[in-house]
C-alpha cells in the first residue's frame, strides 16, 4: 500500500531545508508538502493507477518520482 501525505515540510523529512519538492522514501511513502511559502511552488502528484507509478507534474511535463537523493 502506498501512502500520500502532507502537512509537514519535505525539507524537514529530507533533512535538507532547501528541498521543496515531492519526497519519496523509496518504499511506500510520498510526501507532497513542499513548504509552499518558501518555494512559491505547489507540488502536484499524479498517480497512474494502472501502472502504480507516481509522477511529479510540472509546466514542462510529468516526471517519474524517484526516491529522495536519486536523480530524475
By DSSP bridging, strand 53-58 and strand 45-48 are: antiparallel
The pLDDT assigned to 22 comes to 94
DSSP string, 3-72: EEE-SS-HHHHHT-TT--S-EE-SSSEEE----HHHHS----EEEETTTTEEEEEETTEEEE---TTS--
Q: What is the mean pLDDT of residues 8-22?
A: 90
> Residues 7-15: what's their mean pLDDT?
89
Q: What is the pLDDT of residue 38?
A: 79
Domain ranges of the chain: 3-64
- Whole-prediction pTM: 0.86
What pLDDT, in 10s, does the model give residues 16-66? 988 889 999 999 999 998 778 878 888 999 999 999 999 999 999 999 999
Amino acid at each position: 500500500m502506498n501512502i500520500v501525505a502532507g502537512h509537514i515540510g519535505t525539507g524537514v523529512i529530507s533533512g535538507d531545508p532547501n528541498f521543496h519538492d515531492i519526497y519519496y522514501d523509496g518504499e511506500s511513502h510520498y510526501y507532497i508538502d513542499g513548504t509552499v511559502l518558501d518555494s512559491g511552488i505547489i507540488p502536484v502528484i499524479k498517480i497512474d493507477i494502472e501502472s502504480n507509478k507516481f509522477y511529479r507534474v510540472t509546466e514542462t511535463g510529468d516526471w517519474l518520482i524517484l526516491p529522495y537523493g536519486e536523480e530524475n
